Amino acid sequence: MSLTADQLIAAQKANLETLFGLTTKAFEGVEKIVELNVTASKAALTEAATTAQAALQVKDVQELLALQASLFQPLAEKTASYSRHLYEIAQGTGAEFGKAFEVKATEAQQTIVGLIDSASKNAPAGSETAVAVLKSAVAAANNAFESVQKAVKQASDVAEANFNAVSTTAVNAAKSTAQTASRKR
């Protein structure tokens, strides 16, 4: 099986479409991050103004400490929420890249298997052993690739679980600290 000019052109066209599709997905991810940052910045500016007004109305140290304690928990929750949104955007964009990579890898595997099958049909007599070794090597490579994909998926799942656990712990710690500070007033 030899590749014709039309097949090469079609392959290049498909590769360009994939490239532009991935570039579009990357820009969409960047747009989402910019939108998230603009929203967070607006909220932070509004909260800073509100906090400044509240700080100007404080009459003694006790009120200042109470104000500080009341701000700590919402800040931790907002930080955790921002981090979750950022993680979701990055994970979504990464998943799109992963899908595209898997599709291209599968196509490449199928092409290689097709080339080997074609070569084995046209191979000279006595080359069966070499063809069998080549097929075995391709099968081993495919198995290795699938194992790596599974390992990456598992690692991603563990990282996501750890991220969620850390976020929850941070928010709970902030709640506990805020409650403790409000009791001391």
Could you list the mean pLDDT of each consecutive 10-residue stretch along the chain, which spans 185 residues?
A: 73 87 92 95 93 91 86 85 91 88 83 78 78 81 80 78 76 68 59
Q: What is the dihedral of CA 100, 101, 102, 106, to 10 degrees?
A: 100
Q: How far apart are CA 107 and CA 56, in angstroms?
A: 66
Confidence at residue 144, expressed as pLDDT on a 0 to 100 scale: 82
For 37, the domain range is 5-183
Task: Give the chain's end-to-end CA distance (angstroms, integer).
Answer: 82
Confidence at residue 57, expressed as pLDDT on a 0 to 100 scale: 92
Burial 80-99 (b: 16+ CB within 10 A, else e): bebeebeeebebebeebeee
The residue assigned the tokens 């981090």 is 83
Neighbours of 155 (CB within 10 A): 10
Neighbours of 76 (CB within 10 A): 19
- 3-state SS of 44-111 is HHHHHHHHHHHHHCCCCHHHHHHHHHHHHHHHHHHHHHHHHHHHHHHHHHHHHHHHHHHHHHHHHHHH
Note if the pTM is more than 0.85. no
Q: How many domains are contained in the chain? A: 1
Confidence at residue 123, expressed as pLDDT on a 0 to 100 scale: 74
Confidence at residue 31, expressed as pLDDT on a 0 to 100 scale: 95
Confidence at residue 69, expressed as pLDDT on a 0 to 100 scale: 82
Confidence at residue 32, expressed as pLDDT on a 0 to 100 scale: 95
Confidence at residue 174, expressed as pLDDT on a 0 to 100 scale: 67
Q: Is 132 strand, coil or helix? A: helix
